[in-house]
Amino acid sequence: MEKPKENKKVKITYDEYKKYALMVTGIIKDMERDGQDSVVQSDVVNKLVQKLELEDGAAEGNACIERTLETTKKIQNVIQHLITKENVLMVTQDSRVKNERMLCVNINVEMDNMALGGQ
């Protein structure tokens, strides 16, 4: 059995980016409303991947695992972009393991008119 390539680049369309960005910020906002000051990145990624994979319907075997890994990578890239480029998310507590850092939505971001990608 062949091991999946870890460093395989994933491509994402702008529409996918917008969809994921809104879903990520929505999940974090919901968790903040439930009383959490900040959220572990892996929790956000896991919730979103589960939601997206359930929507798409589970494929069989390796195809499902590969698609899940690809979706996970896309979401992690979107989160990184929201932190470094868009300034929508903030790291409240860093970690040696990137996926274990704590995140929150920047308090200056208005969810209703969130401009993504410099629009």
Q: What is the pLDDT of residue 1?
A: 44
Strand partners, 105: 89
Task: Dig out the tokens for 68 from the structure.
Answer: 């899940």
Encoded tokens for 102 = 């704590």
| pLDDT band, very low/low/confident/very high, at 90 (cuts 50, 70, 90) | very high
Residues present in the chain in total: 119
Each domain of the chain, given as residue ranges in start order, spans: 14-108
**What tens digit of pLDDT does each residue of 66-77 get?**
888 999 999 999
If pLDDT is split at 50, 70 and 90, which confidence band does 113 have? low
Residue 102: its pLDDT value, please? 96
26-56 pLDDT tens trace: 999 999 999 999 999 999 999 999 988 777 6
Q: What is the pLDDT of residue 6?
A: 56
- Fold (CATH) for 14-108: Methane Monooxygenase Hydroxylase; Chain G, domain 1 (1.20.58)
Rounded mean pLDDT, 6-31: 90
**How buried is residue 82: exposed, middle or buried, by Cβ count under 10 Å (0-12/13-18/19+)?**
buried
Q: Who wins on pLDDT, 6 or 35?
A: 35
3-class secondary structure per residue, the chain? CCCCCCCCCCCCCHHHHHHHHHHHHHHHHHHHHCCCCCEEHHHHHHHHHHHHHHHHCCCCHHHHHHHHHHHHHHHHHHHHHHHHCCCCEEEEECCCCHHHCEEEECCCCCHHHCCCCCC
